[in-house]
């Protein structure tokens, strides 16, 4: 696997991937804060790292850790607004998160540590930082990280503390030594959940949670740390400061960041009213269409989410299924990886998980299938169909029965399967009666409703477009 190269945000360049321990990979990805339904930006992180996990697992034993933040200001506020306990709120949204990820075809991580289960580890790390003069308690009772005492602060985001201090507008907090110092432990407020600590009753800050959970599950140094691009600063920068400040060792060797999701050209935001949850989008589009849309771009590139883009993705994915439709491909075949297309696919994935290039190779194979069918070379078509399905399996697309995908009714599509079949029977009778005008009219009516008919010697088949 020496040919695998990753773009490392830390070094700002592609590097050959060499795991710390031979044959094993430790990967930590920042997960969800469970106070609401997951949105389409979460979907991109889920799907991107799912494919990275699947690809790495072909060559390594992968310990994939994705945390759950189940204590946080937003969680406390939302539970209060809903009149429910924090436990009730978080359990409900953890269940919803798993439902969404499952529908998007994502494998479960190896482990999903929860913040509230790792308070002792957080306190140990804060105590170590305090003993190294990297943490202090303010007059408010909150404990802060002392960024000025960590010389590498800013190395991930390529920011210099002095420059940030000179140009930033940061809200002044009276008990901070430096406006960029960040909270490690928050002193307890009335009616909020709290734990005992050397600094009094309180609860952890957000950043310390990931440092404690990642090092607890993967060790003081591990191979890959990932998350959304928006977490690069300050969250991941602060994780490095905490973890390396406490251990004196390099925290993560490789940092992978997934690009932004824009909506119709603008950053997704509740304030702009262009915010979509995964389950809202699933009402109108097949889950595999969403997955295909995400994988059609490189994970680091920004993508533009829109109804038009998803409709185009559905049409494109339908082309793969349409090519597979004449063939019965039940199982994948590992020998497919030795083919010309298999080797090209491997090169694409080993180039920083370039799924966009990998998807384009699948379309090349679909073209070969269609050529074989046109030449009545069904044996050749079958061979290429097996290659396509095998390579696509690592992306977890094009794995269901073609007809099931092509005929799937999503959302409020205007015509059901039974209605389509009834109109096909009516058209068949019209053709038998030589009423070709009526037959053409029925075809046109179905096309208006998003259904395309395909006549062959075997009869009439149909698909949604």
Binding-site residues for Zn(2+): 30, 210, 235, 239
User: Which residues, including other chains, have CB under 8 Å from residue 51's CB and lie 6 or more apart?
Assistant: 295, 299, 353, 355, 394, 395, 396
| CA neighbor of 235 nearest in space, from 216, 263, 207, 213 | 207
Give the residue numbers of the binding site for ATP. 270
Is the C-alpha dihedral spanning 118, 120, 126, 128 positive or negative? negative
- 303/287 Cα distance (integer angstroms): 17
Do residues 76 and 193 lie in contact, with contact meaning Cβ atoms separated by under 8 Å? yes
- Alpha-carbon distances of 66 from 10, 110, 224, rounded to whole Å: 20, 8, 12
- 26/31 Cα distance (integer angstroms): 16
Q: Would you call 445 helix, strand, or coil by DSSP?
A: helix
Residue 388 CA, distance from chain mean position:
23
| CA neighbor of 449 nearest in space, from 413, 418, 408, 419 | 413
DSSP E strand stretches across 180-271: 182-187, 202-204, 222-228, 252-258, 261-263, 266-267
**Cβ neighbours, 10 Å, residue 92:** 15
For 459, the token pair is 């009869």
| CA neighbor of 397 nearest in space, from 334, 319, 309 | 319
For 98, the token pair is 């798993």
Give the residue numbers of the binding site. 30, 210, 235, 239, 270
Helices of type H across 267-416: 278-282, 287-295, 307-324, 340-350, 355-374, 378-393, 402-406
């Amino acid at each position: 696997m020496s040919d695998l190269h990753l773009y490392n945000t830390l070094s700002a360049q592609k590097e050959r991937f060499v795991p710390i321990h031979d044959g094993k990979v430790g990967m930590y990805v920042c997960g969800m804060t469970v106070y609401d339904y997951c949105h389409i930006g979460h979907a991109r992180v889920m799907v991107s790292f799912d494919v990275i996990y699947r690809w790495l697992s072909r060559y390594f034993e992968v310990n994939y850790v994705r945390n759950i933040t189940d204590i946080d200001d937003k969680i406390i506020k939302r539970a209060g607004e809903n009149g429910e306990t924090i436990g009730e709120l978080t359990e409900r949204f953890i269940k919803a998160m798993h439902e969404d990820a499952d529908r998007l075809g994502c494998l479960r991580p190896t482990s999903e540590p929860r913040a509230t289960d790792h308070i002792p580890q957080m306190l140990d790390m804060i105590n170590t930082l305090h003993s190294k003069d990297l943490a202090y308690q303010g007059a408010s009772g909150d404990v802060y990280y002392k960024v000025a005492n960590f010389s590498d602060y800013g190395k991930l985001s390529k920011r210099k503390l002095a420059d940030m201090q000179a140009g930033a507008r940061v809200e002044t907090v009276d008990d901070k030594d430096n406006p960029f110092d960040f909270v490690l432990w928050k002193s307890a407020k009335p009616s909020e959940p709290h734990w005992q600590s050397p600094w009094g009753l309180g609860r952890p800050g957000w950043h310390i949670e990931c440092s404690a959970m990642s090092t607890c599950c993967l060790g003081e140094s591990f191979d890959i740390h990932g998350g959304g691009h928006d977490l690069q600063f300050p969250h991941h920068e602060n994780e490095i400061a905490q973890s390396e400040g406490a251990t004196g060792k390099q925290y993560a060797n490789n940092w992978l960041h997934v690009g932004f999701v824009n909506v119709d050209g603008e950053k997704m935001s509740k304030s702009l009213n262009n915010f979509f949850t995964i389950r809202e989008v699933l009402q109108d589009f097949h889950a595999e269409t969403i997955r295909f849309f995400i994988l059609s771009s490189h994970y680091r590139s920004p993508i533009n989410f829109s109804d038009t883009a998803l409709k185009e993705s559905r049409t494109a994915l339908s082309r793969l299924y349409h090519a597979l439709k004449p063939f019965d491909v039940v199982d994948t075949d590992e020998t497919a990886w030795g083919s010309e297309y298999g080797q090209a696919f491997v090169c694409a994935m080993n180039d920083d998980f370039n799924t966009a290039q990998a998807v384009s190779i699948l379309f090349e194979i679909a073209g070969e299938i269609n050529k074989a069918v046109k030449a009545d070379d069904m044996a050749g078509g079958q061979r290429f169909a097996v290659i396509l399905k095998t390579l696509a399996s690592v992306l977890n697309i094009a794995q269901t029965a073609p007809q099931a995908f092509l005929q799937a009714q999503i959302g409020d599509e205007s015509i059901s399967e039974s209605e389509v079949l009834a109109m096909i029977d009516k058209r068949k009778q019209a053709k038998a009666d030589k009423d070709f005008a009526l037959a053409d009219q029925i075809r046109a009516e179905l096309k208006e409703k998003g259904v395309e008919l395909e006549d062959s010697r075997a009869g009439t088949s149909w698909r949604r477009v």
